[in-house]
Structure 1
Amino acid sequence: MVDQDAKKGSGGEMVRLYTRQNDKTLYQLERDGRIINQRVYVELHFGDIAPLFMESYDWFTEEAARRVEKPADVHAPIWCSISRENCLKPIEGTVVYVLEVPAEKIIYFDEGKWDYVLNRIYLPKDETDRQEYKQHLKDIGVVNGFEFFQGRYAGKYPQEEARIKESWLRVFEIDNWTIFNVCGNIWEIRKEWVKQIVHPGEAVV
């Protein structure tokens, strides 16, 4: 079921979003009146595998900033769910913020397509494009499309790297709007946007 309230609307519309964050952000919210993300927080979240993913996150941050202006002190977006049903529930050490955010502050994208960016591979437009790209790899003698940025082909096919990065822009194109594939990222959580703070054991409403 599509959450109609989460669809992008005209200026002035408020959209409900849900995001689970470390409970230490409660102090940041009280102290600063806002919560922002830092690149180091993303690195800590991924731990030892962070180097594999940070280039993708940095790419996303740069492209997202072209769509919604990024505050100067923010280094990474805050990931949000567009629905109560599909949001991450609070567990120990976390809280869920229920927000009402101005529609123009939200960067919508397809989380299913995000996996292609995260894995640094080509994001096809459709099934026809997928098959054509597979044939293209065969034509140029490439057996593994995962190795253009790291691995045996790294640095050897700059045109292919550019082609792959260009395809990633499709992550912002939502072909099928559902609560399961659409995310709505924001650059900050402002105190006035917070409608509920949900602790472990409490219900998200």
Structure 2
Amino acid sequence: MEETVRLYTRQNDKTLRALERDGRILNHRAYVEMHFGSIAPLFLESYDWFTKEAQKIVPKPEYAQASIWCSISAQNCLKPIDGTVVYVLDVPKNQIVYFDEVKWDYVLNRIYLPKDAKDDAKYKQELKERGFKSRFEFFEGRYKGLYPEEEKRIIDSWKRVFEIEEWSIFRVCGNIWEIKKEWVHKIVHPNEPIEDASDRV
């Protein structure tokens, strides 16, 4: 029997129709764009990078555009509110891309992701010695386009987002390319508990 992992994800309740009609739910770049509004272009660059790297870990189906963010615990999952539902899923283990959500903030901010505190201190000292006033301005701001080697160094560091040193329900996310109907353990509506004793696996 295929080994599965319990995941939790809050989604717009319009996805219920897609699940019924197509047998699966997909995420689209357009949804990311709508969610972030005017700052979407910056976020989409980060999401596109994530998509490119994540599919090296778990191959992306051709019909999928973006991954679906999932919590690894009911405790840390966003609760269902009006217009949303939470899908409680049993996903095959080999279909999940795990990453560190704290590290993801470095990718969103488009800054260098250090290996550890020592590497972080070393990097900041290097920037200071080279006369850089800010580490936030290599992709947007005064240094944009001027230091391609530094840009590459920063982008290469982001791969550490998939390296998990601390397995915590508050740090680790499990991303998937789709929600298949057969993976749905249950659907939780607003004012319903996400998990009770009989659900625990």
Q: Which residue of 1 aligns with 2:165?
A: 175
Tell me if 1:101 matches 2:91. yes
1:156 to 135, 146, 154: 146
Structure 1 unaligned regions, length at least 5 = 1-10
Tell me if 1:17 matches 2:14. no
2:74 to 84, 101, 118: 84
Tell me if 1:199 matches 2:189. yes
Separation (CA, whole Å) in 1 of partners of 2:26 and 2:94: 18
Tell me if 1:141 matches 2:140. no
TM-score (norm 2): 0.96
Separation (CA, whole Å) in 2 of partners of 1:130 and 1:167: 11
Tell me if 1:53 matches 2:43. yes
Separation (CA, whole Å) in 2 of partners of 1:32 and 1:142: 51
Q: Which residue of 1 aligns with 2:199?
A: none
Query: How far has the Cα of 1:12 moved from its partner?
Result: 2.6
**Once the two structures are superposed, what CA deviation does each residue of 1:38-80 show, in whole Å capped at 9, x if it has no partner?**
1101111111111121100000010001110101011100000
TM-score (norm 1): 0.94
Runs of 4+ in 1 over 6 A off after TM superposition: none
Aligned residues: 195
Separation (CA, whole Å) in 2 of partners of 1:88 and 1:112: 17
Q: CA RMSD in A?
A: 0.8
Percent identity over paired residues:
69
